[in-house]
Amino acid sequence: MVAIKNESEKAVVQSAAKADSGFFKPKPLDKTSLVLFTLSFIAACTMFFSHLGDMPIFSPDEALYAEPAREMLETGEYVTTYLNYQVRYTKPPLFIWAIAAYMNAFGVSEFAARAFSAACGAILVGITYLFTEKFFNRRSAILAALILTLSPMYLAISRLAITDIPLALFVSGAMMALFYGFATGESRWKWGAYVLLGCGVMTKGPVAIVLPALVLIPYHLVMGEVKKAWSYYKPILGLLVIALIAVPWFALETWVTKGEYFQSFIMRENLQRFTGVVDHKYPWWYHLAVMGGGFFPFTLALPFAWFASLKAPFSNESSGRLLARLRSIDHGQRAALFATVAALAILIFFSASVSKLLPYTLPAFPFLAMVTAVFLVRLSDSKRWLPAALGFAGFTLVASGSFALLPVLEARLRDCPPELISYLPGYITFMVATGLIPLLMAAFKRVYASILVFIVMLASGVLYFGPGLQSIFADSWERPLQAFVQYSALSDRDIYICNLRKPSATFYALRRVEMEESLEGLFERFKNVETAYVIGRHRHKDIYLASKDFKTVAESGRFILLDYVRNRK
């Protein structure tokens, strides 16, 4: 690892003497640090909350949580969750409780459905800033917070009403608290961490316990301090704290459902999802690609940051065996090694799972941001402008090459909105400029300034072009459905959704909506239905209208609204 030379790092980390000979004594946050922390948090809130309620609820993912929360308020049932007024055995209810609380405070709306995720995302950015400053320095903390905020997958998922960002807050925040508490010897941090993990279990189940164990056990084994770690963490008592938070609801729900919830959630959604083909089957490299894309453009620096973190024991000036050299690294190097182990352990765990989904690796992102920020600051301190310039050049080339991919995107993207292809060139042009301007600054050896300018331009591009991109997709994929459902709900006729997985229909109808997977099933059911509204795919229009019983009411984008009257004259 590049030697630590600047005074701010020396003030934070311990000397190169054995780090485990005493507890870590971090420098208290001064006024400047508190101001920068506040500004980082405000920046994250700006990115996550801006235009948060402008888009309709996206189906199916957001609707699977927003609609149960709405029904929870309507029915007063807070133990068992319902979707479309039917019991839904999937995730524990903490996230749905939180959405219901926001809806109770702000009214049933898209903003209320997403606000808890956005708040959790901003809080985790703040925690990442604090952790990074404590173990490294102020400039690394600023970069870590900004990098995390602007990582595409973290930014996008923080604006959606799904469980992954709250889980990342509970799991990653707990791991940082456990590591910090172990380093300082302060007991309060581990108890706070166990409360967070209890909330994680109540958000997404046992995975909230598994991930920290997969990170902390290998890390302390490598560092040769398992006995000391066991003594500090008191894992049996920790599990008891977690159980006190989570077990009462799990026991009550299992009792209420006569064991059905245990079979559905514990066995199917957890054990079988990891070991068997439940759904979402992808190749082993899926999460490696997702993490690379979801962390881009900072992925360009990530391999070098990981290498710098992992080689610390070998570049240590201490003599002796590897274990002795590991024990002699300072707390900053330990934190960098811990962050790298955390990110790699999470990546490996979810890559080993048979079932894979895009946001699963989000708990790794704060650690990715941390090690990347530390690497970039040390690159700046050593006046190594060429690697930074090459990184900006690589980003510029990727952005420029995106022009050639527009025809491929139009051909391959399912139901690609026509407006998208005409909108993207302006955004791509701005991204090319976002790479070129910092490239010129880096060439003049203004490395840290060039990184900040690059990040500010990235944020500006997202704020300026992001709402337009969201609107394009919403207008094509969701908004017509919302309008058709709300129109149909004005009558007392049944509403049918055919060949569309759109649980958001119930959110906008405010009553039960009939879901039919196929046209054949719909026509069979309509043998006993007198009148109804049907919302289906526009491409099936001719099939519907082949029967005189169907009449077109409206059509927009991918959707068509039909009036059905049996034996229409």
Q: What is the pLDDT of residue 13?
A: 41
473 within domain boundaries? no
Q: Same domain for 273 and 346?
A: yes
526 within domain boundaries? yes
Of 466, 492, 520, the domain-final residue = 466
Mean predicted confidence (pLDDT) in 350-371: 91
Q: What is the pLDDT of residue 192?
A: 97
pLDDT at 280 over 80: no
Cα separation, 361 vs 358, whole angstroms: 8
Query: Per the structure block, which two tokens stand in for 316?
Result: 């240590």
Cα separation, 289 vs 270, whole angstroms: 23
Mean predicted confidence (pLDDT) in 450-475: 92
Q: Pick the residue with more confidence: 477 or 274? A: 477
pLDDT bucket at 15, cuts 50 / 70 / 90: very low
229 within domain boundaries? yes
Q: What is the pLDDT of residue 59?
A: 84
Q: Same domain for 484 and 400?
A: no
Cα separation, 268 vs 211, whole angstroms: 19
Q: What is the pLDDT of residue 14?
A: 41
Q: What is the pLDDT of residue 10?
A: 46
pLDDT at 269 over 90: no
Write the pLDDT tens digit of every residue in 74-109: 999 999 999 999 988 778 999 999 999 999 999 999
pLDDT at 27 over 90: no
pLDDT bucket at 310, cuts 50 / 70 / 90: confident
Alpha helices (H) along 312-446: 312-315, 322-327, 331-352, 365-381, 385-412, 418-443
333 within domain boundaries? yes
Please give the helix or strand (H or E) that residue 101 lies within, else none.
Answer: helix 94-106
10 within domain boundaries? no
pLDDT bucket at 316, cuts 50 / 70 / 90: low
Mean predicted confidence (pLDDT) in 24-29: 83
Q: What is the pLDDT of residue 60?
A: 87
Q: Pick the residue with more confidence: 15 or 163? A: 163
Query: Per the structure block, which two tokens stand in for 501?
Result: 């997985």
Cα separation, 339 vs 175, whole angstroms: 10
Q: What is the pLDDT of residue 267?
A: 59
Q: Same domain for 404 and 513?
A: no
pLDDT at 71 over 80: yes
Exposure string (b/e) for 332-360, b if CB count within 10 Å is 16 or more? bbbbbbbbbbbbbbbbebbbebbbbbbbb
Do residues 185 and 325 touch, judged by C-beta distance below 8 A? no
Mean predicted confidence (pLDDT) in 148-155: 96
Q: Which residues pair with 551 in a beta bridge?
A: 563
Q: Same domain for 423 and 300?
A: no
Q: What is the pLDDT of residue 270?
A: 58
Do residues 449 and 142 touch, judged by C-beta distance below 8 A? no
pLDDT at 18 over 60: no
Do residues 466 and 54 touch, judged by C-beta distance below 8 A? no
179 within domain boundaries? yes
Looking at the chain, the whole-number percentage of residues with pLDDT higher than 70 is 90
Query: Per the structure block, which two tokens stand in for 540?
Result: 């099936």
Cα separation, 171 vs 169, whole angstroms: 6
Q: What is the pLDDT of residue 322?
A: 66
Q: What is the pLDDT of residue 355?
A: 75
Q: Same domain for 497 and 375?
A: no
273 within domain boundaries? yes
Cα separation, 90 vs 554, whole angstroms: 35
Mean predicted confidence (pLDDT) in 248-254: 89
Q: Is 555 helix (H, G, I), strand (E, B) or coil?
A: strand
pLDDT at 477 over 70: yes
Cα separation, 152 vs 145, whole angstroms: 14
311 within domain boundaries? yes
Do residues 315 and 9 touch, judged by C-beta distance below 8 A? no
pLDDT bucket at 475, cuts 50 / 70 / 90: confident
Mean predicted confidence (pLDDT) in 417-442: 91
Mean predicted confidence (pLDDT) in 539-560: 93
Mean predicted confidence (pLDDT) in 380-384: 87
DSSP letter assigned to residue 3: P
Of 436, 466, 496, the domain-final residue = 466
pLDDT bucket at 274, cuts 50 / 70 / 90: low
Q: Pick the residue with more confidence: 474 or 540? A: 540
Cα separation, 176 vs 338, whole angstroms: 9
531-537 and 494-498 strand pairing:
parallel
Q: How many residues does the chain have?
A: 569
Cα separation, 383 vs 443, whole angstroms: 11
**Helix, strand, coil shares of the chain as percentages rounded to 5?**
70, 5, 25
Looking at the chain, the whole-number percentage of residues with pLDDT higher than 90 is 69
Considering all CA atoms of the chain, what is the largest pairwise distance in Å, rounded to the nearest integer?
94
Please give the helix or strand (H or E) that residue 241 lies within, else none.
Answer: helix 235-256
Q: Give the CA dihedral 455, 54, 292, 295, nearest 10 degrees.
A: 30
Cα separation, 148 vs 416, whole angstroms: 29
Tell me which range, 14-23, 271-280, 416-425, is most confidently predicted by mean pLDDT.
Answer: 416-425
Question: What residue numbers bound the domain in which 178 lies?
Answer: 23-381
pLDDT bucket at 278, cuts 50 / 70 / 90: low
Which of 53-57, 269-273, 324-328, 543-547 is least confident?
Answer: 269-273
Q: Same domain for 358 and 392?
A: no
Mean predicted confidence (pLDDT) in 23-43: 90
Tell me which range, 168-182, 222-236, 305-319, is most confidently predicted by mean pLDDT.
Answer: 168-182
Q: Same domain for 263 and 323?
A: yes
Q: Same domain for 515 and 538?
A: yes
pLDDT at 47 over 60: yes
What is the average pLDDT value for the chain, to the nearest integer?
Answer: 89
Of 323, 346, 381, the domain-final residue = 381
Q: What is the pLDDT of residue 329?
A: 80
Q: Same domain for 320 and 462?
A: no
In 3D space, the residue among 420, 393, 542, 550 whose CA is nearest the CA of residue 476 turns out to be 420
The count of structural domains within the chain is: 3
Q: Same domain for 304 and 290?
A: yes
pLDDT bucket at 49, cuts 50 / 70 / 90: very high
Do residues 550 and 564 touch, judged by C-beta distance below 8 A? yes
Mean predicted confidence (pLDDT) in 153-178: 97
Q: Same domain for 446 and 512?
A: no
Q: Give the CA dihedral 219, 220, 224, 229, nearest 10 degrees.
A: 170
Q: Same domain for 79 and 225?
A: yes
